[in-house]
């Protein structure tokens, strides 16, 4: 491996790391702003009913540690 190849490899590695950091920062800001626009309500939170069924959860996979539903 020559010094030129080492320099090109190092520059490529640093560029990929920097691009990943910048894109992750942008995605975090984008989705945080989108989540802040939506006003979360307590009634729309996923919870487990008294009979063990899931309430307010539209996906097939469910979180294991979801809280119990309150008296509503």
Residue 54 vs residues 12, 17, 43, 49: alpha-carbon distances, Å = 48, 41, 13, 6
Element (H, E) at 48: strand 47-48
Mean pLDDT of residues grouped by 10 in the chain (72 residues)?
A: 96 96 84 63 67 73 70 56
State residue 27's pLDDT score: 82
How does DSSP classify residue 38? S
State residue 15's pLDDT score: 97
H-helix segments, 1-72: 3-37
State residue 9's pLDDT score: 97
State residue 62's pLDDT score: 62
């Amino acid at each position: 491996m020559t010094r030129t190849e080492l320099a090109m490899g190092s520059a490529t590695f640093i560029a990929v790391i920097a691009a990943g950091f910048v894109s992750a920062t942008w995605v975090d800001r984008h989705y945080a702003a989108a989540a802040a626009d939506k006003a979360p309500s307590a009634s729309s939170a996923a919870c487990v009913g008294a009979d063990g069924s899931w309430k307010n959860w539209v996906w097939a996979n469910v979180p294991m540690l979801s809280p119990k539903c309150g008296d509503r």
